[in-house]
């Protein structure tokens, strides 16, 4: 059986988020589905990045779904596992240059990884880690 795993996030500003994820993470856009009732908003969009799929929709005020910016917090972290420790620093620096905020600088951790975290401009938290060796 083939197994895949992805994430589906709610964002305030999917169009801008796609541009950010392309610049920050090298994402490849798969598709966008614009809303006919809400000009400039997207019902669905899909990206390929870090070997997986990131799907998203704009925040339409649907019960149970809200963007982190509306909530003032996020309820989960998106974690990216990289192969080499120096890739952690490079990925975080690229994301920061594109507009992310470093919330935990990359450092060697007690559990054996080089790990750091950032928050993207849309409020989602991302962790980047790789085994130290």
pLDDT in tens, 27-68: 999 999 999 999 999 999 999 999 999 999 999 998 889 999
Strands (DSSP E) found in 1-133: 6-11, 28-34, 42-49, 52-58, 77-81, 101-108, 113-119, 125-131
Q: How far apart, in Å, are the Cα atoms of 40 and each of 12, 29, 67, 88?
A: 11, 17, 16, 34
Neighbours of 121 (CB within 10 A): 17
pTM, two decimals, is: 0.93
pLDDT of residue 95: 98
Full set of structural domains in the chain with CATH: 1-60 (3.30.720.120), 77-133 (3.10.180.10)
Q: Would you say how long the chain is, in residues?
A: 133
Residue 17 has pLDDT above 90, yes or no: yes
pLDDT in tens, 104-114: 999 999 999 99
Q: What is the rounded average pLDDT of the residues 76-105?
A: 97
């Amino acid at each position: 059986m083939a197994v895949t795993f992805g994430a589906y996030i709610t964002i305030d500003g999917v169009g801008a988020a796609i541009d950010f994820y392309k610049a920050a993470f090298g994402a490849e856009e798969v598709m966008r589905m614009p809303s006919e009732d809400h000009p400039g908003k997207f019902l669905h969009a899909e990206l390929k990045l870090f070997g997986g799929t990131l799907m998203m929709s704009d925040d339409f005020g649907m019960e149970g779904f809200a963007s982190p910016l509306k909530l003032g917090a996020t309820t989960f972290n998106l974690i990216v596992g990289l192969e080499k420790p120096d890739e952690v620093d490079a990925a975080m620096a690229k994301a920061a240059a594109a507009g992310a905020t470093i919330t935990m600088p990359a450092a060697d951790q007690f559990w054996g990884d080089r790990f750091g975290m950032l928050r993207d401009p849309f409020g989602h938290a991302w962790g980047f880690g790789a085994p130290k060796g």
